[in-house]
Amino acid sequence: MAEEILKSKRVNFLVADARVKLVSVSLIALAGVLEAFREAYGGLWVGGKLELTRSAVRLSANTLNRVVQDGTLDIELPLALIRKVSVEGGFITNIVRLDTDVGSVEFRCFGAKGIAREMVRVGRLQASISVL
């Protein structure tokens, strides 16, 4: 039986190994721009969906991003591994950063502060929410 989804939200999440698939001539020009962005920011923002359950945060790419990108397009992060939740300012939407002992996951969305608080509440995390 599938775990109950407590919250679902459209998000963009940062993927370090995302790369543009060269599926058409028009993407060749765009690929250079995106490669420069990837090198500067440590990855590409991938559009998709966040699902929050009682035990995990799941991020999955939407269909369009699956067509034009390769890389890690699905992330599942158990809430028990999250040590710190931060909300950082961003352009138009804020960014939520989930830190673990081995790295971090970042996503951006409208209502970022609310979803960060919900993750801490649902997971009964010993994490802190700081707004930077």
Provide the number of structural domains found in the chain. 1
Please tell me the predicted confidence (pLDDT) of residue 99. Answer: 92
Give residue for tokens 């919250």. 7
Q: Considering the domain boundaries, does residue 107 fall inside one?
A: yes
Model confidence at 126: pLDDT above 90: no
Q: What is the pLDDT of residue 22?
A: 63
Range of the domain at 14: 7-131
Residue 1 falls inside a structural domain? no
Residue 52 lies in a domain: yes
Identify the residue with better confidence: 26 or 103.
Answer: 103
pLDDT band (50, 70, 90) for residue 56: very high
Residue 4 near residue 54 (C-beta atoms within 8 A): yes
The Cα–Cα gap between 26 and 121 comes to: 45
Tokens matching residue 121:
């509440």
